[in-house]
Amino acid sequence: MKALILNSGIGSRMGKMTEHAPKCMTEICSDGIPDKDTLLSRQLRMLEIIGVNEVVITTGYLAEELKGYCRSLAYNGNIVFVHNPMYRETNYIYSIYLAKDYLTGEDIIMLHGDLVFDFAALCQVAFSGKSCMAVDSGAELPEKDFKAVISQTEEQCITDIGIEFFDHAVSAQPLYRLDRNDWDLWLGKIVDFCENGNTGCYAENAFNELNGKCVIYPCDVNGMLCNEVDTPEDLACVSQRLMREKSVYCCFSTDIVHGGHIRIIEAARELGAVTAGILSDEAVAGYKRYPLLSFKERSELVSHISGVRNVIKQEELSYKNNLRKLRPDYVVHGDDWKSGFQSSIRQEVLSVLSEWGGRLIELPYSKSETYELIENDMRSRLSIPDMRRRRLRNLLDMKGLVTAIEAHSGITGLIAEKTTVLQAGRTYQFDAMWVSSLCDSTAKGKPDIELVDMTSRFRTIDDIMEVTTKPIIFDGDTGGLTEHFVYTVKSLERMGVSAVIIEDKTGLKKNSLFGTEVAQTQDSIENFCQKISAGKKAQKTREFMIIARIESLILESGMEDALARADAYVKAGADGIMIHSRKKDPSEIFEFITAFRSVDASTPLVVVPTSFNSVKEEEWKERGVNVVIYANQLTRSAFPAMQNTARSILENHRSLECDGTLMSIKDILTLIPEDI
């Protein structure tokens, strides 16, 4: 997009202010302090912020002074000057004609050099996505300034522009966004006018003769500053309006600041005093990925960016609490949330802002291969063993309650990694993955009796780790012989697994949910404590966790036995306790938690609510549980679905009937990352 700024006029009504400089170089007060900002410098700065780096400026009166002034500005784009030597005898239509060779084949922002507008008004026009002109439906119709006539059809486009129109008209200002096709039509008519000697009229007269071929829509900047400065009184009026500093809010989750974020802050700074909300660590972890930098570090990073006045915490993805507290005039955000996951958050922001007349300013989302590479690099760092391993402990410290879902393959790992739900302004993801021996064995068509050896199970971990970043909790069954367990610990720790859970049973493994229906032998407290201690001595890092799973309730050994074992296992070095039950009634689990927490307030507690599944996560957290594992639900849901699909194909001798229940190939492809 290119800008055309019309600056060839004399500005005689400004009196002495324009004796030695064109009107566009007139200084303007902002926030009550003359800061050497001029009409033109303000325009150029705003254009650069919205990404306009090519500007054509027409000159006339004191052209050399204007060119020299522009070269002294900090504008980083390219400026082309086109001089109108007949500026005293012609109107700006002729200046446009002289500049025509620089103006074809591109979308255009066209404005007069004496126009003062809020940055929000420029954004609304520039990012409208269609040809439009700034109008103010709430302003009185001026006697001698532009009005735009709005068609009375459903399309409601502008049919005529001029000072003489009053019927079906609204107040208008010469700030346009013009698609290249519409602009080429208008420019062609301007050329016709000028080559036929009609150079003393407005360019809008040429538009009016197009009779609807050039479609321009009204862009209502209702109530925002958008006025020409023709007299000292006009200058005083717009300066007065600029004196009230407005408040602006924008929110960031990033731990890497790139050009897109700087552009958002620059835009926000142009609107007023900027307060930056920084998403809490928990909100970021639930929304995108685990943050590489803590909230404190991210806050300090953003607070040192020029233009940021204040930094506050935003506890959740929803903006409503901070917005109602601050009541900002503007919220600034990229336009990427108009569709997709965050669209409901956007609607909430619009609704809350409407309570006091605030406005949402949306800038085009910064799509850049470099930014994507940066994000991919950050994500890949999360999969590094040392980074991944420590994350479970970090999440426990951050959230208090961690949820994990089983994964037994790369594809189920991706489901665990990418599934996100937005509820009541908060996002929810699984925090970790549980590599279950039951599900791993089932996926391989083997019974759950520790038949699948550790080499095969480690390969499953590799498959999952290759495509995910979240921490892994490994189902270590009984841990095997103590001499073998120490090597399992070393291998898991080296791979980047966060924790292993081992159960206090011996002999041939039988799934706990069989309970006393099959012969199962519980290990002695002494032997199991020795296994825990040996594992803790074998590990090399503080981050790796060994969690002891107590089978006393499963085997009906009683609550006292379960609590005695928990106390002993913690003293032996266990980093957490998992208590299990096969009853649907959670009362015995509740009883254990209450008793355990009465003597141990800090050791993490783990539950696997496969049978007692009526309790919600928030209640588990209130009762003192730290990890909730959904241990087999993906496997149990997948196999019936696959069986039904196979049965349907056999029954119908084709796949048409089952197609409606299947995931599309496109969705499968988008689920799987390209950078595997």
Tell me which residues are annotated as active site.
Answer: 448
Number of H helices, E strands in the chain: 24, 30
Q: How far apart are CA 300 and CA 17, in angstroms?
A: 45
- Ranges of beta strands (E only) in 536-648 are 545-550, 576-579, 605-607, 627-630
Tell me the Cα Rg of the chain.
Answer: 34
Q: What are phi and psi of 136, to 5 degrees?
A: -130, 100
End-to-end CA gap in the chain: 37
Q: How far apart are CA 661 and CA 444, in angstroms?
A: 25
Smallest CA-to-CA distance from 489 within 601, 596, 393, 389 is with: 389
Smallest CA-to-CA distance from 438 within 580, 322, 316, 625 is with: 580
Place of tokens 């390969």: 459
Smallest CA-to-CA distance from 184 within 173, 192, 196 is with: 192
CB 604 within 8 A of CB 379: no
Q: Which two tokens stand for residue 645?
A: 């699909």
DSSP 655: S
**How far, in whole angstroms, is CA 131 from its chain's centroid?**
29
**Alpha helical stretches, state H, 544-601:** 559-571, 587-599
**How far, in whole angstroms, is CA 398 from its chain's centroid?**
21
CB 401 within 8 A of CB 442: no
Q: How far apart are CA 642 and CA 345, in angstroms?
A: 36
Smallest CA-to-CA distance from 119 within 8, 259, 264 is with: 264
Q: How far apart are CA 179 and CA 199, in angstroms?
A: 24
Cα torsion angle, 160, 92, 219, 181, sign? positive
Smallest CA-to-CA distance from 190 within 178, 176, 202 is with: 202
Helical pair 39-49 and 119-126, crossing angle rounded to 10 deg: 50
Q: How many CA atoms within 13 Å lie on the side-chain side of 446?
A: 14
**Which element (helix H / strand E) includes 189?**
helix 180-195
Q: How far apart are CA 317 and CA 244, in angstroms?
A: 30
**Which element (helix H / strand E) includes 134?**
strand 132-136
Q: What are phi and psi of 539, to 5 degrees?
A: -75, 150
Cα torsion angle, 66, 68, 73, 76, sign? positive
In this structure, which amino acid lies at residue 369? E
